[in-house]
Structure 1
C-alpha cells in the first residue's frame, strides 16, 4: 500500500504476453498469425454491477512500476455487449463492442476465455471458459473423525509356564504306546566329532598327477556338444 501511495514511475512499459494466475495472456494483435487464442478475458461482476460478467479482448498490456520493485499490469480491452438478462450470459455474447470509456482492468481480475463464432447465429459467439494450468478441481471430501487403530495386548506364555495349557479341551485326544518312543531314542547314533577322523598321509598324492607338471586327461562321463566347445 505504501508503494501504491507513492505512485508509479513516469514511464510505463508495454507487453505482448504475460503469465498471471497460471494463465498465459496475449494481445489480440500478435495472435493474427497464430492458431491459438489467449486474448479473451472474463471479469466477473460484483453486487454493484448486478453480478454481470464482462467479456472482452486484450488490445494492450501496460506495466506500471512502483517503488520497491513493485509492478502492476493493466489490460486495455475492447468489451463486448453483454446479452440481456433473458439469455445465458455465460454461453453467448454479441460481437458488437461497447463500453469504450472503461477499457482498463487489473490483470489480476482477468480470467482466460476464448470465443467461437456461431454458425447458426451470425454476429454471436460462444464463450468457452478455461481452467488455469496445473490446477485440478479436486472433489471435496467429508472429514471423518480420526480413528485410532491399535493392536490389543496379547498374553504371551512365559518360559516357566506349564505346556499343558496348550492341550485342547474341545477335542478328544488319542493315546500312543510309550515303548515306541523309547525304541526310537535307543536307535539314535551320536554324530562323530570332526577331530576323530584319521588322515592317511599316503592319500595326499593324487595318482592323476606326475612329477613333470603335465596333467593327465580326465575322462568325461558326458559326451556331446560340450566336447566340441573346449580345445
Structure 2
C-alpha cells in the first residue's frame, strides 16, 4: 500500500458464497461475503474495435484475521504478507471503488472508506442473466451517464498478445 502513488487502488465486491461446516457436510450454506481488494493489474480483452472486457486482478481479503470491525463500526483490513487468492480476477463492472486509509493507531491496518462513483448505473435494470448479457450484442451499448469515466488508462502502454 505504501508503494502506491495513487489512492484509488481499492475495490470491494459482495459475492454469494457457499460454505461447509466440515469435509463430510453435504449441505452447503449460502451467504453473502464481502471481499476487499487491492488492484494489482488491469487487463482489457479487446475482441474487436467495438467489444472489449476489462478485468481487474486483485489481492483479496474476505474474512479471518485480516479483517476486523472496530468499536466505532469501521471495517479494517490488513494486506501485509497476503497470499494469492485462487480467483484473483473480477469484471471491472462488478466492483465498487473503495479507499484505504491508514489506521493512525496501528499502521498495518487500513480503514475501508466506501465512495459513490461519479457515474451511477443503479437506476438501470437489466432483466437478463449476467452470462447471457455479457455474451450479447447489447454489451456494446453505453449505460453510463458520465462519458468521462474510463476503465483503462491511456497513459500506460499496454501489452498486445496475439
Pairwise TM-score range, normalised by the shorter structure: 0.5 to 0.7
- Count of aligned pairs: 105
Match of 2:93 among 86, 97, 108: 108
Mapping 1:116-195, distance limit 5 Å: 116-133=101-118, 135=120
Query: How far did residue 101 of structure 1 move?
Result: 2.5
**Whole-angstrom CA distance in 2 between matches of 1:63 and 1:90:** 33
The structure whose Rg is larger is 1
Q: Which runs of 5+ in 2 are unaligned?
A: 19-29, 123-162
- Larger proportion of helix: 1
Query: How far did residue 130 of structure 1 move?
Result: 0.5
**Whole-angstrom CA distance in 2 between matches of 1:107 and 1:125:** 22
**Whole-angstrom CA distance in 1 between matches of 2:74 and 2:14:** 11
**Maintained 8 Å contact 1:81/1:98:** no
Normalised to the residue count of structure 2, the TM-score between the two structures is 0.53
**Whole-angstrom CA distance in 2 between matches of 1:44 and 1:90:** 17
Normalised to the residue count of structure 1, the TM-score between the two structures is 0.38
State whether structure 2 residue 32 is matched by structure 1 residue 62.
no
**Whole-angstrom CA distance in 2 between matches of 1:101 and 1:124:** 23
- What's the C-alpha RMSD, in Å, of the aligned pairs? 3.3
**Whole-angstrom CA distance in 2 between matches of 1:74 and 1:116:** 24
- Larger proportion of strand: 2
3-state DSSP class of the match of 1:102?
Answer: coil
Query: How far did residue 122 of structure 1 move?
Result: 4.0
Indicate how the Cα distance of structure 1 residues 105 and 121 shifts in structure 2: closer, same or farther if over 3 A, else same. Answer: same
Q: Which runs of 5+ in 1 are unaligned?
A: 1-27, 138-231
Superimposed CA distance per residue, residues 20-44 of structure 1 (whole angstroms, 9 cap, x where no aligned partner): xxxxxxxx8x952x4xx11100011
**Whole-angstrom CA distance in 2 between matches of 1:46 and 1:90:** 22
